[in-house]
Structure 1
Amino acid sequence: MDMSQRPAQGLRERVGTSLFTHVAGPAGRQNRARIHGTPGPRWFGPERPIRTVHGDASMFIGGLSALLLQSLHPRAMAAVAAHSGFRGDPWGRLQRTSTFLAVTTYGTAEDAQRAVDHVREVHERVRGTTAAGEPYHAADPHLLCWVHVAEVDSFLRAHQRYGAHPLDGAGCDAYIADTARVARALGVPAPPVDRASLAARLAGYRPELRATPQALDAARFILREPPLPWIARGPYALLAANAVRMLPPWARAALGLRAAPYVPQDLVRLSGRALTGTIRWAMGALPPREEPAGPR
């Protein structure tokens, strides 16, 4: 390496390592090696769209947008507020979620099923009552389906807008079909398998959605009170602005969100592309994933 390139490479490695550690946790490197390096059949081969989407930096924006959208179901939000510990341990929750996505997307079929079984056990124990007196159970297939479709829609929207390699129409449908494999394992009956059925399922939930005080509190925490050092809050604010702009207009209105209202949408989108490109550049400094040769 040229001596003049070393400072930039050092910065790239520091930023990439910091991002990876925050998202994957202190055991991230060991988990990554196990997930990608363990031989055995996978649920999804290397050519599947789910690997393209879940491996892209656009997930940083898609994940934030998904959390905001998911919060609009009162029973789902009540379960999160009472049982997830998102305020007390937000990084831990993020790391558990990212590890689950990595295992089910890239890991062996055995490890993926084990991860799903663990989540189902946790869901079975999560029960309670909303402030309005409505009972909830995290294993309720109706709530599971809401969480799934809100997540898939958000991830795909983000990828199509900010991803390095947006999918064509058939690829989008194939991504939704891939995620349906995981959803069925988690207990979602007949999850959507293409864009039309995903849009129809989301529309079917609209009458149930509203911004409860818990949802508004979660939005404030996610957007205005992130547990980050001050130096990282500027880039995070750009991620958040893009995540909010990506929400359906009715969801933004319900949450009372006006992301950068005086900034042109094209400029917000440009900032999102620049930031995801920077994240992609920094994460590229991580050692390559070592996947076993042979049948997948």
Structure 2
Amino acid sequence: MSSSGRFFPPAPAPGIAGDPGIFGPDSAAWRVARERVILAGGPAALLLQVAHPLVAEGVRAHSGFATDPLQRLRGTLDAVLTVSFGDQAQVRGTAGLVARKHRPVQGTLPAPVGSLPAGTPYRANDPGLSLWVFATLVWSAVEVTEGFLRHVPPEERDAYYRDMTRMAHLFNVPAALLPEDYAGLEGYVTQQIRSTLDVGPAAAVIARQVLDPDPPIVVRPARRLPAVLAAGVLPPALREAYGLRWRRRERVCFAVVRCASQLAVPLLPTRVRYWPHYLVARRRVRATPTG
């Protein structure tokens, strides 16, 4: 795999001309998800996910995170981008692929973690766990857009959340479990932090591999950047639970990166600023269907 391929999913196939997929050009989902800068929230989103002991055990026991620590982040990103910008067939194909990959992921906690006793069962396609993973993706995308690019007003947050609930249904989250609006999603995240999340041994190992992998995947001066980004985006309680440093130097570094992003990203050419999935989708929608 190329060095860029370790971080970024490849550009998708063109798809069916004129097919807008499940969202379309005027959607809040396209406005938010098209920005490459949302990748800055990747470490925090992953650490949020595995702070749930059952998610962490599923990742530990059923994935190759030890040999490829970016596997889950890259796979999740590829699935989200394809569902966001793919045509109808690509969306169905990705949802089916994720379901097949999740089907064998099940087991039990080998030891107690937080409020969950040893032997607690888990399965990747459990609607409650799917809701938590969905919530971390939506929450981190809004937080990063707000902090690293532009203000996201409440009405746009709600519109983005409503769009993304259509994605949630594709990944086994029933409507009855979904919060009513974005404020409800924020409340759900807060409640999970207070009542369920706990950074156990599996989560701690995954966090070390993601934030400072061995061998390193970035040059030495930037090796601390994923940890700084995670520390700055995560809620304070989880930042402390993971033992992430948040001294003056980390706070200054985070503020500098965020300010630089706000200034630089709007000036970037579209092929650099936006994911290729969005650019392909925009061309596809403008194309004239054949036949």
With the shorter chain as reference, the TM-score category is 0.7 to 0.9
Q: Report the more deviating stretch, 218-227 or 99-108.
A: 218-227
Query: What does residue 7 of structure 1 align with?
Result: none
Distance 1:122 1:277, change over 3 A: farther
CA distance in 2, matches of 1:71, 1:285: 29
Distance 1:204 1:137, change over 3 A: same
Could you report, residue by residue, the CA deviation over 1:54-75 in whole angstroms, capped at 9, with x for unpaired residues? 2213212111110111111101
CA distance in 2, matches of 1:225, 1:277: 30
CA distance in 2, matches of 1:97, 1:264: 27
Out of 133, 136, 141, the position equivalent to 2:122 is 136
Gapped regions of structure 2 (runs ≥ 5): 112-118
CA distance in 1, matches of 2:138, 2:226: 18
CA distance in 1, matches of 2:232, 2:83: 29
Query: What does residue 13 of structure 1 align with?
Result: none
Gapped regions of structure 1 (runs ≥ 5): 1-16
TM-score, structure 1 normalization: 0.80
Query: What does residue 208 of structure 1 align with?
Result: 196
C-alpha root-mean-square deviation of aligned residues, in Å?
A: 2.9
Query: What does residue 42 of structure 2 align with?
Result: 63
Q: CA deviation at 1:218?
A: 1.2
Count how many residue pairs are aligned between Structure 1 and Structure 2.
Answer: 271
Out of 256, 263, 268, the position equivalent to 1:270 is 256
Contact 1:176 1:193 in 2 (8 A): no
Out of 100, 104, 107, the position equivalent to 2:86 is 107
Query: What does residue 11 of structure 1 align with?
Result: none
Give the letter for the 1:291 counterpart.
R
Distance 1:195 1:230, change over 3 A: closer
Helix, strand or coil for the counterpart of 2:284?
coil
Q: CA deviation at 1:41?
A: 3.8
Q: CA deviation at 1:226?
A: 6.0
Could you report, residue by residue, the CA deviation over 1:227-275 in whole angstroms, capped at 9, with x for unpaired residues? 54552x433523430221111111112212223x132735522223425
Contact 1:43 1:109 in 2 (8 A): yes
**Is 1:22 aligned to residue 13 of structure 2?**
no
Query: What does residue 189 of structure 1 align with?
Result: 174
Out of 134, 152, 155, the position equivalent to 1:170 is 155
**Is 1:72 aligned to residue 60 of structure 2?**
no
Out of 210, 232, 243, the position equivalent to 1:245 is 232
Distance 1:266 1:57, change over 3 A: farther
Distance 1:18 1:216, change over 3 A: closer
Query: What does residue 210 of structure 2 align with?
Result: 222
Distance 1:123 1:56, change over 3 A: same
Query: What does residue 14 of structure 2 align with?
Result: 34
TM-score, structure 2 normalization: 0.82
Distance 1:274 1:22, change over 3 A: farther
Could you report, residue by residue, the CA deviation over 1:191-212 in whole angstroms, capped at 9, with x for unpaired residues? 2352221022223323111110
- What is the percent sequence identity of the aligned residues? 30
Q: Report the more deviating stretch, 82-91 or 178-187.
A: 82-91
User: Which portions of structure 1, spanning 4 or more consecutive aligned residues, are displaced by more than 6 angstroms?
Assistant: 276-280
CA distance in 2, matches of 1:285, 1:169: 24
Q: CA deviation at 1:34?
A: 2.6
